[in-house]
Amino acid sequence: MMSEAPLSCEALLKQAADVIGGDTPRLDAELMLSDVTGWSRTSFRAWPEREVNVAEVARFCTLVEQRCEGRPVAYLLGEQEFWSLPLKVSPCTLIPRPDTECLVEAALALELPENAKVLDLGTGTGAIALALASERPGWQVSASDAVTEAVELATENATRLGLPVTVRQSNWFADLPAGCFDLIVSNPPYIAGKDHHLSEGDVRFEPASALVAGNDGLDDIRRITTEAPAWLSPGGWLMLEHGYEQGAAVHRLFTQAGFASVETRQDYGRRDRYTLG
Ligand code: GLN
């Protein structure tokens, strides 16, 4: 498919971008070539004729072939940036998405005590918890996940970034030690079981347990909104990510659970994405 002789960066990127499908073939190719060579993406533009050696060309070709099979770049490189933090990722967790950065932004805009107690439920890579801890050193941020590998991964990310986030294994609230939080935030699974988009694109390689939640996609959100009030301090906030067609339903679940000041907000693509109350 591709040459395995030494080649210029630009020639390699061009060949790769032509065969990689998906929405961002050029970006994918640049991220993979940058990983293989250790050269920055901007250097490819500044020095397009720079030559890549045979061993690196071969490694790059292997990555491109796996990308062509549909494997997400983040899994191939083992890393994904979230809130400018380099996070280790693995196929046992969801790949952090830019949309979820909206929740981080909204959480930082809340008026919380200096030493607020914050919980990220179903943390996966640790993305939300780590982003919050990186911005608010005074907050006591903890995180939980039901999956052992995710707890280990989030803990490793916290250690690598030197951020003080405690990660515990718990199926939502079931196995948490008693606590009282000023903010509980979560990006739970929320895709409806019957949803066809799971058979296309990167999600095929992500764990269904992090994506799918019952027939209507609301099983986990229903459980969290019901149980969260017992874990919140008076005036504490709950903030949940959800699908863009679930805004009204999630708003209703918050209200039924007794939350006040409930508000559904949009992501950077102007679609309903998260609700807080
Ligand atoms: N936003 C993701 C998607 O639609 C789903 C994330 C989730 O279920 N928490 O692919």
State the complex-level ipTM.
0.92
7-69 placed in CATH 1.10.760.10: no
Report the range out of 4-13, 38-47, 202-211 with the highest average pLDDT.
Answer: 38-47
Question: What lines the ligand 1 site, CB under 6 Å?
Answer: 97, 187, 189-191, 203, 211
Q: Is 83 left (phi over 0), alpha (psi -120 to 50) or beta?
A: left
Q: At what angle do helices 9-19 and 25-37 cross, to 10 degrees?
A: 140
Architecture of domain 83-276: 3-Layer(aba) Sandwich (3.40)
Q: At what angle do helices 219-227 and 247-256 cross, to 10 degrees?
A: 30
pLDDT digits (tens, 9 = 90+) for 172-188: 999 998 889 999 999 99
pLDDT digits (tens, 9 = 90+) for 267-277: 989 999 999 99
Q: Which pLDDT belongs to residue 79?
A: 96
Instruction: Write the residue with the smallest CA distance to atom 1 of ligand 1.
Output: 243
Q: Which pLDDT belongs to residue 2?
A: 60
Instruction: Write the residue with the smallest CA distance to atom 5 of ligand 1.
Output: 211
How far does residue 189's CA lie from ligand 1's centre (Å)?
Answer: 7
Task: Please tell me the pTM assigned to this model.
Answer: 0.93
Residue, of 197 and 149, whose pLDDT is higher: 149
Q: Which pLDDT belongs to residue 178?
A: 85
What is the DSSP code string of the chain?
----S-EEHHHHHHHHHHH--SS-HHHHHHHHHHHHH---HHHHHH-TTPEEPHHHHHHHHHHHHHHHTT--HHHHHTEEEETTEEEE--TTSPPP-GGGHHHHHHHHHS---TT-EEEEES-TTTHHHHHHHHH-TTSEEEEEESSHHHHHHHHHHHHHHT---EEEE-STTTTPPS--EEEEEE----B-TT-GGGGSSGGGGS-GGGTB-TTTS-HHHHHHHHHGGGGEEEEEEEEEE--TT-HHHHHHHHHHTT-SS-EEEE-TTSSEEEEE-
Residue type, 88: K
Q: Which pLDDT belongs to residue 127?
A: 98
Q: Which pLDDT belongs to residue 3?
A: 60
Q: Which pLDDT belongs to residue 131?
A: 98
For the chain, what are the domain ranges?
Answer: 7-69, 83-276
How far does residue 192's CA lie from ligand 1's centre (Å)?
Answer: 10
Work out the pLDDT band at 48, boundaries 50, 70, 90: very high
Average pLDDT over residues 139-159: 98
How far does residue 37's CA lie from ligand 1's centre (Å)?
Answer: 32
The answer to whether 44 touches 178, Cβ cutoff 8 Å, is: no
